[in-house]
Amino acid sequence: MKEQNDENLIEEEENREYGLEEDPMQAFWKRQTQVFLSSYINIAIILCNVIIFVYGLFAGYDFQDRFDFDPVRFFQNREYYRLFTSMFLHASIEHLGSNMLILFFIGANAEHDLGHISYLFVYLFSGFIGDVISLADSIIRNDLTPSLGASGAIFGVIGAVLIIVIYGRKNLRPGSNLLGRLIAIIFLSVYSGFKEVNIDNAAHIGGLIGGIIITFFITNIFKKEYTMEEWL
């Protein structure tokens, strides 16, 4: 790894010497590739979701029925594990694909900034809070339909990114609208959740809030500094 870094530094120095500056977009994607490849926890989470989905296709409906978030069984049978297992289940290939695609891009950068262990904690905590808020919403509306999916945890990662950008915004390039775009994406995602059917928007909002809160505390307790270099 050290030899590779030394080679990169030598190459960059030679480019500067001969006036061959690297294209900004090329430099951006080079950094992003390094971020993606080093996001071990995010890659592991995505693989777990894919493997569990494929296994569920062969195991049949009983597998999903055993581990989804069913409020009735949660209370009657005290199956508290459902708060966590449900965030690794998906109803369809489209459901899985959309969630994992979003997680692949935003999760890698969040893990790069937060660190591996902190990122894992943010993901699981957000999914847990999302299911808790979903449960409360189900009781209030008297709708005890089972739910499943990683959306609550993913919204938590988006909430984490919001905190990261807020704390690191002073390091963004002049004129960057990253914070504004992120807020708009969050607003539109929550809004669309209210307009679509069969969307557990309570879990989304709960996960988002959970991700914001836990990342705020992680940032301040561990005095994290966010350079935003990988986001430029």
Give the model confidence (pLDDT) of 132-141 as tens digits. Answer: 999 999 999 9
User: What region, left, alpha or beta, does residue 78 occupy, with left being phi > 0 and alpha being psi -120 to 50 degrees?
Assistant: left
CATH 1.20.1540.10 in the chain, residue ranges: 39-231
- Give the predicted TM-score (pTM) of the model: 0.87
Mean per-residue pLDDT of the chain? 89
| Residue 54 to residue 170: CA distance in whole angstroms | 43
What pLDDT band is residue 36 in, cutting at 50, 70 and 90? Answer: very high
With a cut of 80, say whether residue 210 has pLDDT above it. yes
Buried/exposed code over 128-150 (b: 16+ C-beta within 10 A; e: otherwise): bbbbbbbbebbeeeeeeebbbbb
Hey, what CATH topology would domain 39-231 get?
Rhomboid-like fold (1.20.1540)
Does residue 194 or residue 226 have the better pLDDT?
Answer: 226
| Residue 45 to residue 101: CA distance in whole angstroms | 12
Q: Is 151 a catalytic residue?
A: yes
Highest mean pLDDT among 7-21, 152-166, 196-210: 152-166
DSSP 8-state code for residue 23: P
| Residue 114 to residue 135: CA distance in whole angstroms | 29
Q: Is 204 a catalytic residue?
A: yes
**Predicted local confidence at residue 10, as pLDDT:** 56
Q: Is the dihedral of CA 113, 117, 118, 120 positive or negative?
A: positive
Write the pLDDT tens digit of every residue in 152-194.
Answer: 999 999 999 999 999 998 888 788 888 999 999 999 999 988 8
User: What region, left, alpha or beta, does residue 19 occupy, with left being phi > 0 and alpha being psi -120 to 50 degrees?
Assistant: left
| Contact yes or no for 125/210 (Cβ under 8 A) | yes
Considering the candidates 126, 151, 176, 189, report the single residue annotated as catalytic. 151
**Predicted local confidence at residue 122, as pLDDT:** 98
